[in-house]
Structure 1
């Protein structure tokens, strides 16, 4: 798992371990390594921008599934933050995909966002196009980040690519305690979607958000068996 110490990763790890999966978590800091050690995860130190280090880390872990939950939002969501996050989605994903292909990974599950669709009357479904004509900061987010991430994961034939288009997170460790935005999703329900995607559903895109908002979620409900009301402590 890349992004294992992030808000989704820390929630996802116990779900995977309780289900019997062996988890290797990638982090670039010794502090992150200590967190993973404490969670009973095999840690590996690698910077996602270092293609050689990522390749060696994935090859050593020899995973069946690679989960990409990396973002770079620690500095906020201003223009500079958007550029950093877009670079991570573009360059970091490319390095992870290259490593997954070389290691013979069966499935790659990657985090994307549910508010990158081209303008139209909502709701938006997975078959609707991304906003490739966006301008300004939105173009940085969509054209320089989301679009290349999703293309790298989906537009190939070497592994099963799954993209989870998450709505706006709320809950423990996020920026909001209560639902906000046009397509909110509790962070624990978001982690549950990634857990289910390990061995449920076919390759492709899934909107992950609470019903009644700006995106449809029928595909995740029926193909993944996902539920937006999931919270840690429930049986899976």
Structure 2
């Protein structure tokens, strides 16, 4: 069913694969970028685009209000490439802040404008330690320490802001470790690898499919059980934009 979709982080690595899927399905898409260059790339794809800082709550609310979406997809991260000279810990702290504060601002904007569903990117390696594999009902690692605690300080409030409310339907996609075009690896890596285009496909399907809640999204046979995504979303881990696995 065609609908209006607002993609926060549309010019990012997953967003660049997600936007064409939404557009070609007939959805009316508005995407955000932090830069004019990102906005221009989105407009070249034939979708609406806006430059907005997710930390500017008023500007973000205005952007969401203007787009008036039915569904909001949260694909924002603050992960930079090799050109960023910040330490790994500083990068992690920035990303955690975006997940805490940026998500809260997105939720406030969505609630004020009547969004019916929010789909948000999370991670599949935040579970409390145990022998894998992990299912969606397993607890997150609330006792994490050191650098891992920084990551969890963003993930826990992000997921809570999406799930612990009744104003809209909240969907959390716990992605595995990304590989493919635009990522840090061209080949599968980590305990739960995930091709970036298959990650985008999961978010695309969640616009119209699946009950509210949490879904593991990763290649089969790894540390994450993906049965729920396969059955409820109709997700295919071998999906690729060009049709070839």
TM-score interval for Structure 1 and Structure 2 normalised by the shorter chain: over 0.9
Runs of 4+ in 1 over 2 A off after TM superposition: none
| Matching of residue 166 in structure 1 with residue 175 in structure 2 | yes
Aligned to 1:23, the other structure's residue is in SS state strand
My pick for the range that moved more, 87-96 or 29-38, is 29-38
| Matching of residue 81 in structure 1 with residue 97 in structure 2 | no
Q: Structure 2: how far apart are the matches of 1:18 and 1:36?
A: 14
Closer, same or farther in 2 for the Cα pair 1:150/1:174, shift >3 Å?
same
1:77 Cα shift?
A: 7.7
- Could you give the per-residue CA deviations for residues 174-228 of structure 1, whole angstroms, max 9, x where no partner exists? 0000000000000000000000000000000000001111110000000000010
| Matching of residue 230 in structure 1 with residue 222 in structure 2 | no
Aligned to 2:28, the other structure's residue is in SS state coil
Aligned to 2:208, the other structure's residue is in SS state coil
Partner of 1:32: 38
- Could you give the per-residue CA deviations for residues 27-83 of structure 1, whole angstroms, max 9, x where no partner exists? 121111111111111111210000000100001000000000000110488111100
Partner of 2:187: 178
Q: Structure 1: how far apart are the matches of 2:206 and 2:134?
A: 21
Partner of 2:151: 141
| Matching of residue 125 in structure 1 with residue 135 in structure 2 | yes
Partner of 2:206: 197
Picking from 7, 14, 21, the partner of 2:13 is: 7
My pick for the range that moved more, 35-44 or 102-111, is 35-44
Q: Structure 1: how far apart are the matches of 2:101 and 2:37?
A: 24
Aligned to 2:14, the other structure's residue is in SS state helix
Partner of 1:60: 66
Q: Structure 2: how far apart are the matches of 1:27 and 1:192?
A: 20
Closer, same or farther in 2 for the Cα pair 1:177/1:125, shift >3 Å?
same
Q: Structure 2: how far apart are the matches of 1:191 and 1:46?
A: 22
Partner of 1:16: 22
Partner of 1:155: 164
In structure 2, list runs of 5 or more residues that go unmatched. Answer: 1-6
| TM-score of the aligned structures, taking structure 1 as reference length | 0.97
- Could you give the per-residue CA deviations for residues 111-158 of structure 1, whole angstroms, max 9, x where no partner exists? 00000000001000000000000001100101x100000000000000
1:234 Cα shift?
A: 3.0
CA RMSD of aligned residues (A): 1.2
In structure 1, list runs of 5 or more residues that go unmatched. Answer: none
